[in-house]
Amino acid sequence: MRIFDPHVHMTSRTTDDYEAMADSGVTAIVEPAFWLGQPRTSVGSFVDYFASLVGWEPYRAAQFGIAHHCTIALNPKEANDTGLAREVLEVLPRWLAKDRVVAVGEVGYDSMTPAEDDAFSAQIALAADADLPMLVHTPHRDKLAGTRRTLDVLAEQDFPPERSIIDHNNELTVEVLADTGCWMAFSIYPDTKVDERRMVAILQEYGTERMLVNSAADWGRSDPLKVSKVVAAMQEAGFSDDDISTVVWDNPVAAYGQSGRLELDVPGQEADSTFEGSSIRRTSG
C-alpha cells in the first residue's frame, strides 16, 4: 500500500530513516517549515533553511524513491521575535512561488500572543495571494482554546475551510473541527500527542473523510514509521483497504493537491549509486 506522510521533518532525520520509510511503503512526504530547537537570530538563517527544503531534501528523498514536498512559513514560536518576524514575512512570497511548495505552513499558535495573531493573519493573506492551502499548527498548551481561536481567525479573513489543514489534533479538537469542512490531521507519537490505537478509535467514531495521519517526526523522540503503524492498527481493527488508502494516500493527495504542485513520480535514482566515491553528489568549491 502506498503511504503519504503529510508532515515529517526530515531535516532532523538521517538517510537511514528515509530508507526505512521507503521500505514501509512511504512514497511521498510533505516537510513543513518549523523551528530548529533554538531561536534563529537572522533572516539569513531562515533563507538558508528554506533553500534546503526546496533543494537539498528533495534530492535526499529521491535517492529512496520518495517524492518530497514542503510547506514554507514563519512558524508560530518564532513569530514572537517581532523584528525578525517582519523580515521573514518580507521574503516569504518568493519562497512560496517555488516548485514543490504545496502550502503555507506551519502557521498558527504556540502561546497565543498578539505577535502570533499578527503573523498568522499576515500569512493567511499570503496563502490567499499565492493560491495555496495552509497548514495550521494547533498549540501544545490550551489546544482546545487555540483551535477555536484558529477557526475564528480563518473565518474573520474568509479563508476557505477546504484549503485549511488543521494539525496536531486530538479527541477534544476533532469534536470542534468535525463539521467545519477543514482537513483534520493527527500527529502519531510514541509518548505524546496521539498514538495509533487512539487514532483508530477516532477513525471508528468520526470516519475517514478529511482525515490525515502523520508522523511529525523531528529531532525529539518520534518515529518516522508511525503512519505505517497506523496502517497496521487499522488493518487489525478491520478497516477495509479502501478506507486505509483514503487516510494514508487519497486524503493527503487531495488536500495538498489543491496547490497544483504535487509531483508524485520521482525520477529513477539508485540509492546506492556513488559520485566520485561518495553517495552524495557535491558541487565544486
Higher per-residue confidence, 196 vs 278: 196
CB-side neighbour CA atoms (13 Å) of 260: 6
Q: pLDDT category, 266, cuts 50, 70, 90?
A: confident
| Contact status, residue 159 vs residue 134, Cβ threshold 8 Å | yes
pLDDT at 268 over 90: no
pLDDT in tens, 86-135: 999 999 999 999 999 999 999 999 999 999 999 999 999 999 999 999 99
pLDDT at 285 over 50: no
- Largest Cα separation within the chain, whole Å, is 57
What local confidence, expressed as pLDDT, does residue 46 receive? 98
CA–CA separation, 254 and 151 (whole Å): 21
Q: What pTM does this model have? A: 0.93
**Is 12 in a helix, a strand, or coil?**
helix
Q: Which cell goes with 68? A: 518530497
Which range is least confidently modeled, 1-5, 25-29, 247-251, 276-280? 276-280
Residue 107, phi then psi, degrees to nearest 5:
-120, 175
Rounded mean pLDDT, 65-90 = 97
Q: pLDDT category, 140, cuts 50, 70, 90?
A: confident
pLDDT at 80 over 80: yes
CA–CA separation, 154 and 159 (whole Å): 5
Higher per-residue confidence, 277 vs 233: 233
Spatial neighbors of 84 by CB under 8 A, at least 6 apart, are: 40, 41, 42, 43, 78
Give me the amino acid identity at 175.
E
Considering the domain 3-257, what is its CATH architecture?
Alpha-Beta Barrel (3.20)
Angle between helices 226-236 and 15-24 (to 10 degrees): 20
Q: Which cell goes with 193? A: 500527542
Among candidates 198, 206, 156, which has minimal Cα distance to 177?
A: 206
Q: pLDDT category, 267, cuts 50, 70, 90?
A: low
Q: pLDDT category, 280, cuts 50, 70, 90?
A: low
What local confidence, expressed as pLDDT, does residue 272 receive? 52
pLDDT in tens, 212-258: 999 998 888 899 999 999 999 999 999 999 999 999 999 999 999 99
Alpha helices in the chain (DSSP H): 15-24, 43-51, 57-62, 82-96, 114-130, 143-156, 171-177, 196-206, 226-236, 241-245, 251-257
Q: What is the chain's mean pLDDT, rounded?
A: 93
Give me the amino acid identity at 95.
W
Q: Which cell goes with 51? A: 533553500
CA–CA separation, 158 and 229 (whole Å): 37
pLDDT at 284 over 50: no
What local confidence, expressed as pLDDT, does residue 282 receive? 46
